Amino acid sequence: MIDLPIPQPTSDPDTPIPAAAECGEPLVPLSDLSDKIRVHPYYYHQGYTAAMQDCYLRQGAALLLKQAAEQLPDGYTLIVLDGWRPYELQMALYEQFKQSMIAQGWPDDETLAKELTRYVALPSIHPQRPSPHITGGAVDVTIAGPDGWLEMGTAFDDFSPLAATRYYELLPDHQLGERERRIRANRRWLYHLLRSVGFVNYAEEWWHFDYGNHHWAQETGAAPIYRAVLSIES
């Protein structure tokens, strides 16, 4: 693997953005999009009632994901863990994580809310600030090789500092063994692969990438094109 540059994701929730001008792209399933893409709908396998057996993205975002996957060498594929989420699923995830933090001793106040939204977006269908996954423009993804999923340092949905995209970049060089350098290289590969086709990365989660929604707009300076989608048919 070539030595790629250090990832530079920027996630500033205070960056002003214009309201989305909905482009009207449909949601499309990803399971039959490309031989280089496999879906593993994480929340469906976890038993969430609102989760689906396939993963979906807006058509434009899906085609960009296909472009990224087709850059992978033989024997490697993109693994999609989640894409568009129904509002009910976003609410269930938010409430579950909130209750788990309260059980850990967090007070149910603004401090909890601020920490919570670092990892699980507040369920919202507001035109100017919809939850990223509800727009169909957010995707959670990793890479698999001939020997299985590449090591990325944490599991998916690991809500800890280790999940930050640049966590291993910021460690002192003397703390990096062979495993840590491999993880760092794998994260760089995923980051630059998705960035090369137009996605942006959420800095707190190495697996989360956005296109067309307000997270993408905050980083690129472009106007968002995706609002909330309430159902696959809408």
Q: Is residue 37 part of a domain?
A: yes
The CATH number of the domain holding residue 88 is: 3.30.1380.10
Is 11 contained in some domain?
no
**Residue 19 included in any domain:** no
The answer to whether residue 146 sits within a structural domain is: yes
pLDDT value for 1: 56
In order of 114, 131, 168, the CA distances from 121 in angstroms are 10, 6, 24
- Mean pLDDT of all residues in 2-6: 80
The answer to whether residue 21 sits within a structural domain is no
Taking residue 21's Cβ as centre, other Cβ atoms within 10 Å add up to 12
Kindly state whether residue 4 falls inside one of the protein's structural domains: no
* pLDDT level of residue 173 (50, 70, 90 thresholds): confident
Helix axes 59-69, 178-195, angle to 10 degrees: 130
Tell me the average pLDDT across 70-98: 94
pLDDT digits (tens, 9 = 90+) for 140-161: 999 999 999 999 999 998 988 9
Residue at 80 is within a domain: yes
41-71, pLDDT tens digit by residue?
999 999 999 999 999 999 999 999 999 999 9
When divided into structural domains, the chain yields a total of 1
Range of the domain at 140: 27-220
Task: Classify residue 99: in a domain, yes or no.
Answer: yes
The one-letter amino acid at 13: P
The per-residue pLDDT for 126 is: 80
